Amino acid sequence: MRLTRLATAAVAATLWIAPGAVLAQDKPLEKFLMGFAVDSMVQQIPFHVAKEFGYFEEEGLDVEFQYFDGSSAVVQQLVAGNVDAGSPATGALFNALVQGHELKQIFSFQFKSVFTLATPADSGITTIADLKGKKVGVSELSGGEVPIVRAVLREAGLAEGQDVEIVPVGAGSALTLNSLQTGQVHAYSSNMFDIAAIEAAGTDMTIIMPKSVENFPGNAVVVRAETLDEKREQLVGFVRALAKGLLYVEANRDLSFAIAARLAPEEFEDEALANASFDAARLLKERPADLADAPIGTHYRPGIEAYHTFMRQGKEEEGALMQDIDLDMMLDSSLIDDANKFDHDAAKAPRP
């Protein structure tokens, strides 16, 4: 595991405070550490909006964002008690629970899988079955997309090493693009942002990942069971502030984009890529129709159950789960009602 960066997100000096908000001024702000699997303003803009508008401070929290090398690293930091909360991918959370770690998913905000599988639009490959005799590129062999790729190949009756070869070609880099353009690989699986980078570089891609997989859940707010017991009040405040940020980004696409560009201009130098990545991040956070009237942060049980069933197939060396997970123990909804006790219309109101 490699710590890529430990930083507090930079924010503007002037904070917008909601009308009628009560600040926790009678005591010092409490330090709260939130861990992410990747350092990306685009992917985490609701958290940054919450910080930018002073929502965390309203809850008495001094929130610091920490960035690690992937979801497995976030889980390690959670288990070690080095962060108060983290946002690992669901697959990494499943693996931690199988290993006996007591972690709780307390707030859901990403309802589609970040991982996908695509081919160059002119390749003639339109289904998983068409990959027979081909090579599939991945970011790296330990990447979170690999177990999913192996599973969809298996469902299509294709055997890795016999019918299809999986090859590491980088995370949407020049190496990745060259591998696709020269035919070294015929398809590529990684996260949606890497696919967006390839398309922004001029190569149109066709998604061939089955729809059932695209609708698997993504990242959520996860904590240790003991943290939930010991810091319940702080966690309620944290996810309430996040809920406000989520609503704002959902209702104000262009204003949210401008905030992100101001806070992390290096991510927005390529306008086409920035727009594609920003829209991909918003798509991942769209709530399923079944949750349209549910409180912000509600867990989408059907998607989580479908992913669990999917990951229980196959062999352990292929990334499959070797035992069932008690989803009732994993999913905790005890904070969600309190997290939604704020003026939703005010949170959606446009402001710079």
Per-residue pLDDT at 143: 76
Residue 246 amino acid letter: L
Residue 126 within any structural domain of the chain = yes
pLDDT at 111: 94
pLDDT given at position 8: 36
CATH number at residue 250: 3.40.190.10
In this structure, the answer to whether residues 123 and 106 fall within a common structural domain is: no
| 170 shares its domain with 240 | no
Instruction: Note whether residue 53 is domain-resident.
Output: yes
**Confidence (pLDDT) at 318:** 65
Give the domain-ending residue among 214, 240, 273. Answer: 214
In one-letter notation, the amino acid at residue 61 is: L
Q: Do residues 90 and 147 both lie within one domain?
A: no
Residue numbers of the chain with a pLDDT score lower than 50: 1-24
Domain-located, residue 299 = yes
Is 200 within 8 Å of 64 (Cβ atoms)? no
270 plus 136 within the same structural domain: no
- Pairing relationship of beta strands 134-138 and 164-168 according to DSSP bridges: parallel
Q: Which of 219, 207, 216 is nearest to 116 (CA)?
A: 207
Domain boundary, last residue among 197, 214, 231: 214
Same domain, 120 and 70: no
185 and 234 in a common domain: no
Average pLDDT of the chain is 89
User: What pLDDT, in 10s, does the model give residues 258-285?
Assistant: 999 999 999 999 998 899 899 999 999 9
Q: What's phi and psi for 26, nearest 5 deg?
A: -80, -5
Q: Quick check: is 314 in a domain?
A: yes
Report helix angle 45-52 to 253-263, nearest 10. Answer: 80
pLDDT of residue 3: 40
Query: Does residue 344 sit in the same domain as residue 234?
Result: yes
Domain limits at 175? 115-214
* ∠ Cα 242 97 90 (to 5°): 45
Phi and psi at 140, nearest 5°, equal -160, 160
Amino acid 27 reads K
| pTM reported for the whole predicted model | 0.85
